[in-house]
């Protein structure tokens, strides 16, 4: 099917004409038609799917410029020198790449399975039936069935519309929802006024609709904008820190290797041998494993978090999740049970009222907006026969009016029934019900109504108001008709606190995470709940007070406030931004349409599996249960993941760096190379094994007791302290081998090879904990890998394959001396560690 020019202005077409141009129908497409259109239009994505193939991931292990140079040098060596050595070098590099590939491929597959658990779908008509499909499977001609909270997956034309309001802020910048309806428009109608069209990237606030998809992917309006601007999500603190660390080590490596190569050439050593030595040295220095280690750590952390019912959508968000020191949350479903229970219906005098119950049931039963617990509770707990009532119109709820109105016909007359926040209902009432059929001016009883409201709220009960108005024979209404109404009474609801929420809040405080409640409920309900759950030293800021505070003043104020009550949805984002500017790492839990801006603004946007699509899409992390206890476990695991990542960074800047730096220096005054290129690569390969298991390591309690931040200056200090300690014992080893034991070059290299690998492996056990290494139990895979590498290293020179690497057996007394040096090194590293952590806070 070829798109015609007519579809470029599809909003000017009638639904039937548009369907005809798209060769579609109101029943949707068949599977065969969809397959054909996927081939024409591709998947519904703004960018190509970044799923790396196994082969591509394998090639990625060897794309480093230094590795490529090593391949070239080894190839040159095959041609002009020793082919056996070159083949050994290439074999070690290939084995290292395969090791990284094996770990990273498993990590990638695990993450994809986790993301599939919280995949956003849309209802589409295929083969005559409604099915739920991922957004990227939508094609032109599909018929969408849309409801409140749905993300609009593609540019579409309305076929049917009922009380439809759409948030189009992502395209037009307009913060208020736009009402959509079928309409005849001209081709030159501007985007903001195309009320018969829906646009990719926007979302439905309320109402229902059916629409035919016209444009997908890059062909959409949103796709056009993103293509022009090349929009990319900003890097978070963790990603920036990793990049800075990688560049930092790379710069040092290039300077060091270039210097060593030049000096070796000046010392009249063979150029090719010096070049291979320098390149092999650089492999040991560069953080080539860093991407794989980080990927493995984060994916392992994501799997562990999934076991705790926390799904990570963006892996790099784990770091911010662990660093989070403020969590903002609504009370409903997080602090409370989340299952709103209908309590009672009261008239303006506080008496039980059947009339109030009936009108509430009519309003809730005929409401067609987004699903909410209030209406569900009314429909569940009240039962009336509505066979004589017919709905004729609806004014959907919105977050500005905070009212929902239903027009019904009954006994040849129309009644407008409005339900909503009590103050917003009283604003449109002129009278109040007094007795069965009489009414009195609202101002004569308003103080009494307010007193009831405050008394009930102080008990932790949630209050709504309900009103009605006789509309005569009207069959249509608008927002302007919400005036001069009769106040019928109060609807009372109860949402009890969760049983263990007090203990959970205490645990969060112990983890250094403070809870701030942001709720639209009134101050009395908020205070009552917080006293029930044991929230200490409560300071409340009300919506009206917030509106009078400047943004600058709010930054200094938010730290002391732990309850924000009567807050408008558009003010949540303002609170989040103020907390961030005050120096906090802020998380926000939200599951509703009105939470989207706050989720985007937070350092960690957290939603739940049952949230509306647009909230899940905005979140970095999705909880499979809306429970703070689930969040606590996620925070712990996030900190474990970050701590293990930091361990590798410290390892890469201590023993390995110190050993390679020492080797480079020794090559300047020794009459021979301290290690051959193939021996350097073998050393690097063997030390990779324990580091590859770091993701499974145990983490000390102190590392997860408080938020930790990525700090490149701390890493530099760590490298300086432990690099100097490592180099000191390296040079001690050189001196003992060269001037005390007076070994030949082969024995020197064998001794240095054993000492280097064993010390680098053991130092992992020292660096992984702040405590004495024998007091902190390492993870089983790390411990086993370390022991096996040490054993293999000691035995290797005694094996037949050692000849290929030019390693020779050493006398037992030599091994004993090397053992003493390693023991002294480990002991001094423990002293240095104690010294370092006393002066540097992480």
pLDDT score of 83: 62
* Nearest-10 crossing angle of helices 677-692, 290-307: 10
* Degrees to nearest 5, angle at CA 150 with 404 and 210: 85
> Can you spell out the DSSP letters for 279-329?
HHHHHHHS-TTHHHHHHHHHHHHHHHHHHTTEEESSTTHHHHHHH--EEEE
Sketch out the chain's domains with CATH numbers.
Answer: 5-52+118-229 (2.70.150.10), 264-288+653-839 (1.20.1110.10), 307-337+498-635 (3.40.50.1000), 341-494 (3.40.1110.10)
Cβ atoms of 509 and 355 closer than 8 Å:
no
Beta-bridged to residue 493, according to DSSP, are 342, 462
pLDDT score of 229: 44
pLDDT digits (tens, 9 = 90+) for 682-708: 887 788 788 778 888 999 888 888 887
Strand spans (E) along 422-538: 429-434, 438-441, 462-472, 485-494, 514-518
pLDDT tier, 242 (very low <50, low <70, confident <90, very high otherwise): low
pLDDT digits (tens, 9 = 90+) for 379-389: 999 999 999 99
Query: Tokens for 595?
Result: 């939470």
pLDDT digits (tens, 9 = 90+) for 118-139: 567 889 999 989 999 988 899 9
From the list 493, 467, 477, the residue with the least C-alpha distance to 372 is: 493
Average pLDDT over residues 485-512: 89
Is residue 319's pLDDT more than 90?
Answer: no
Q: Which residues contact 437 (CB under 8 A, 6 or more apart)?
A: none
194-208, 219-233, 245-259, 664-678: range with lowest mean pLDDT = 219-233
Return the exposure string of 785-795: e unless at least 16 CB atoms fall within 10 Å of the residue's CB, then b.
bbeebbeebbe
User: Rounded to whole angstroms, how far apart are CA atoms 702 and 706?
Assistant: 7
pLDDT digits (tens, 9 = 90+) for 406-461: 999 998 899 999 999 999 999 999 999 987 778 999 999 999 999 999 999 888 88
For the sheet with 514-518, list strands across it: 310-312, 621-623, 604-608, 586-589, 326-329, 514-518, 563-565, 540-542
pLDDT digits (tens, 9 = 90+) for 83-115: 665 676 677 667 666 766 765 566 556 556 655
SS3 444: helix
Q: Among residues of the chain, what percentage have pLDDT more than 70?
A: 83
Q: Helices in 562-627 by DSSP H: which ranges?
A: 569-581, 596-601, 613-618
pLDDT tier, 230 (very low <50, low <70, confident <90, very high otherwise): very low
Is residue 194's pLDDT more than 50?
Answer: yes
Cβ atoms of 299 and 107 closer than 8 Å:
yes
3-class SS shares of the chain: helix, strand, coil, % to 5: 55, 15, 30
Q: Helices in 169-236 by DSSP H: which ranges?
A: 169-172, 221-229
pLDDT score of 49: 54
pLDDT score of 708: 78
Beta-bridged to residue 395, according to DSSP, are 405
SS3 409: strand
User: Rounded to whole angstroms, how far apart are CA atoms 638 and 297?
Assistant: 10
**Average pLDDT of the chain?**
83
User: Rounded to whole angstroms, how far apart are CA atoms 150 and 134?
Assistant: 12
Q: What does each C-alpha distance from 825 to 285, 734, 754, 781 come to in angstroms?
A: 20, 14, 14, 24
pLDDT score of 469: 96
Beta-bridged to residue 205, according to DSSP, are none
Q: Which residues contact 320 (CB under 8 A, 6 or more apart)?
A: 236, 237, 238, 585, 587, 603, 604, 620
Cβ atoms of 730 and 663 closer than 8 Å:
yes
pLDDT score of 266: 79
Average pLDDT over residues 327-335: 78
Q: Give the active site residues.
A: 330
pLDDT score of 1: 47
User: Rounded to whole angstroms, how far apart are CA atoms 296 and 302?
Assistant: 10
Cβ atoms of 647 and 692 closer than 8 Å:
no
pLDDT score of 305: 81
pLDDT digits (tens, 9 = 90+) for 134-161: 888 999 999 999 987 788 999 999 999 8
- The helix (run of H) or strand (run of E) holding residue 363 is helix 354-366
pLDDT tier, 10 (very low <50, low <70, confident <90, very high otherwise): very high
* Total Cβ atoms within 10 A of residue 48: 9
Query: Tokens for 338?
Result: 């989340």
Q: What does each C-alpha distance from 682 to 77, 467, 737, 789 come to in angstroms?
A: 18, 81, 21, 12
pLDDT tier, 170 (very low <50, low <70, confident <90, very high otherwise): low
SS3 345: strand
pLDDT score of 447: 93
Is residue 338's pLDDT more than 80?
Answer: no
Rg (alpha carbons) of the chain, rounded to whole number: 34
Place of tokens 């009395």: 524
From the list 838, 835, 841, 839, the residue with the least C-alpha distance to 724 is: 835
Is residue 336's pLDDT more than 90?
Answer: no
Beta-bridged to residue 439, according to DSSP, are 433
* Total Cβ atoms within 10 A of residue 299: 25
Average pLDDT over residues 177-193: 87
- The helix (run of H) or strand (run of E) holding residue 765 is helix 745-767
pLDDT tier, 82 (very low <50, low <70, confident <90, very high otherwise): low
User: Rounded to whole angstroms, how far apart are CA atoms 818 and 468?
Assistant: 91
Average pLDDT over residues 164-173: 76
148-157, 213-222, 522-531, 539-548: range with lowest mean pLDDT = 522-531
Average pLDDT over residues 594-602: 83
pLDDT digits (tens, 9 = 90+) for 704-756: 888 877 777 787 788 888 888 988 898 899 899 988 999 999 999 999 899 98
- The helix (run of H) or strand (run of E) holding residue 118 is none
Strand spans (E) along 319-368: 326-329, 341-346
pLDDT digits (tens, 9 = 90+) for 260-291: 778 777 777 777 777 777 766 666 555 556 66
Q: Which residues contact 631 (CB under 8 A, 6 or more apart)?
A: 310, 327, 508, 589, 606, 623
Q: Among residues of the chain, what percentage have pLDDT more than 90?
A: 34
Which one has a higher pLDDT value, 566 or 5? 566
User: 326-329 and 514-518 as β-strands: parallel, antiparallel, unpaired?
Assistant: parallel
Is residue 402's pLDDT more than 50?
Answer: yes
Average pLDDT over residues 317-323: 80
Is residue 172's pLDDT more than 80?
Answer: no
Average pLDDT over residues 763-783: 90
pLDDT tier, 199 (very low <50, low <70, confident <90, very high otherwise): very high
> Can you spell out the DSSP letters for 679-725?
HHHHHHHHHHHHHHTGGG----HHHHSS-----HHHHHHHHHHHHHH
Neighbour-count burial of 580, counting CB atoms closer than 10 A to its CB (0-12 exposed, 13-18 middle, 19+ buried): middle
pLDDT score of 655: 64
């Amino acid at each position: 099917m070829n798109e015609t020019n007519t579809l470029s202005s599809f909003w000017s077409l009638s639904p039937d004409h548009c369907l005809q141009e798209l060769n579609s129908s109101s029943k949707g497409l068949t599977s065969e038609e969809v397959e054909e259109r996927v081939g024409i239009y591709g998947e519904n994505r703004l960018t190509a799917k970044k799923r790396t193939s196994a082969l591509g991931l394998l090639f990625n292990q060897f794309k480093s410029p230094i590795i490529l140079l090593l391949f070239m040098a080894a190839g040159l060596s095959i041609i002009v020198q020793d082919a056996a050595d070159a083949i050994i070098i290439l074999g070690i590099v290939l084995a290292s790449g395969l090791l990284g590939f094996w770990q990273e491929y498993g990590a990638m597959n695990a993450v994809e399975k986790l993301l599939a658990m919280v995949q956003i779908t849309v209802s589409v008509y295929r083969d005559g039936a409604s099915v739920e499909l991922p957004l990227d499977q939508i094609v032109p001609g599909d018929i969408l069935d849309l409801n409140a909270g749905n993300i609009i997956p593609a540019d579409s034309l309305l076929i049917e519309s009922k009380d439809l309001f759409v948030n189009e802020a992502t395209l037009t910048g307009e913060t208020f929802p736009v009402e959509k309806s079928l309409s005849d428009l001209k081709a030159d109608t501007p985007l903001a006024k195309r009320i018969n069209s829906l646009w990719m990237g926007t979302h439905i606030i309320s109402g229902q609709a059916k629409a035919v998809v016209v444009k997908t992917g890059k062909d959409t309006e949103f796709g056009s904008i993103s293509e022009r601007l090349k929009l990319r999500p900003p890097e978070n603190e963790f990603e920036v820190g990793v990049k800075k660390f990688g560049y930092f080590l790379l710069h040092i490596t290039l300077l060091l290797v270039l210097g060593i190569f030049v000096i070796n050439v000046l010392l009249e050593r063979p150029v090719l041998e010096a070049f291979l030595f320098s390149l092999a040295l650089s492999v040991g220095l560069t953080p080539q494993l860093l991407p794989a280690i980080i990927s493995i750590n984060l994916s392992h952390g994501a799997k562990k978090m999934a076991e705790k019912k926390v799904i990570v959508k963006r892996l790099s968000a784990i770091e911010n999740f662990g660093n989070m020191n403020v969590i903002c949350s609504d009370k409903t479903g997080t602090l409370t049970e989340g299952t709103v229970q209908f309590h009672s219906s009261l008239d303006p005098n506080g008496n039980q009222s059947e009339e109030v119950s009936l009108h509430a049931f009519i309003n809730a039963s005929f409401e067609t907006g987004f699903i909410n617990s209030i209406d569900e509770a009314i429909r569940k707990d009240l039962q009336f026969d509505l066979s004589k009532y017919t709905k004729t119109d609806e004014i959907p709820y919105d977050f500005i009016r905070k009212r929902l109105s239903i027009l019904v016909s009954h006994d040849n007359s129309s009644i407008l029934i409005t339900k909503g926040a009590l103050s917003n209902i009283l604003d449109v009432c002129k009278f109040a019900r007094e007795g069965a059929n009489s009414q009195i001016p609202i101002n004569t009883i308003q103080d009494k109504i307010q007193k009831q409201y405050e008394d009930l709220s102080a008990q932790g009960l949630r209050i709504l108001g309900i009103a009605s108005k006789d509309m005569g024979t009207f069959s249509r209404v608008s927002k302007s008709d919400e005036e001069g109404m009769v106040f019928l009474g109060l609807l009372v609801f109860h949402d009890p606190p969760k049983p263990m929420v007090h203990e959970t809040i205490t645990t969060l405080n112990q983890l250094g995470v403070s809870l701030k409640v942001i709720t639209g409920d009134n101050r009395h309900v908020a205070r009552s709940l917080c006293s029930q759950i044991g929230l200490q030293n409560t300071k409340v800021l009300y919506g009206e007070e917030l509106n009078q505070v400047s943004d600058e003043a709010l930054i200094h104020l938010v730290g002391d406030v732990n309850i924000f009550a009567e807050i408008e949805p558009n003010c949540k984002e303002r609170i989040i931004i103020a907390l961030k500017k005050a120096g906090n790492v802020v998380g926000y839990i939200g599951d509703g349409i009105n939470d989207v801006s706050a989720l985007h603004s937070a350092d960690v946007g957290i939603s739940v599996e049952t949230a509306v699509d647009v909230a899940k899409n905005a979140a970095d992390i999705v909880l499979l249960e809306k429970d703070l206890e689930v969040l606590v476990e996620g925070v712990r695991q996030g900190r474990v993941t970050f701590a293990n990542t930091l361990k590798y960074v410290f390892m890469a800047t201590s023993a390995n760096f110190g050993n390679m730096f020492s080797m480079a220096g020794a090559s300047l005054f020794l009459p021979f190379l301290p290690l051959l290129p193939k021996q350097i690569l073998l050393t690097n390969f063997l030390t990779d094994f324990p580091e590859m298991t770091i993701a499974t390591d145990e983490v000390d309690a102190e590392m997860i007791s408080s938020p930790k931040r990525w700090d490149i200056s701390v890493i530099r200090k760590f490298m300086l302290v432990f690099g100097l300690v490592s180099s000191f014992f390296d040079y001690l080893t050189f001196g003992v081998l060269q001037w005390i034991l007076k070994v030949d070059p082969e024995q020197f290299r064998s001794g240095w090879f054993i000492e280097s690998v064993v010390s680098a492996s053991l130092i992992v056990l020292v660096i992984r904990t702040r405590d004495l290494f024998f007091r902190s139990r390492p993870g089983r895979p790390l411990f086993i890998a370390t022991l096996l590498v040490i054993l293999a290293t000691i035995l290797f020179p005694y094996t037949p394959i050692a000849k290929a690497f030019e390693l020779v057996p050493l006398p037992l007394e030599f091994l004993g001396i090397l053992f003493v040096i390693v023991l002294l090194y480990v002991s001094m590293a423990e002293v240095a560690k104690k010294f370092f952590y006393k002066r540097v806070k992480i």
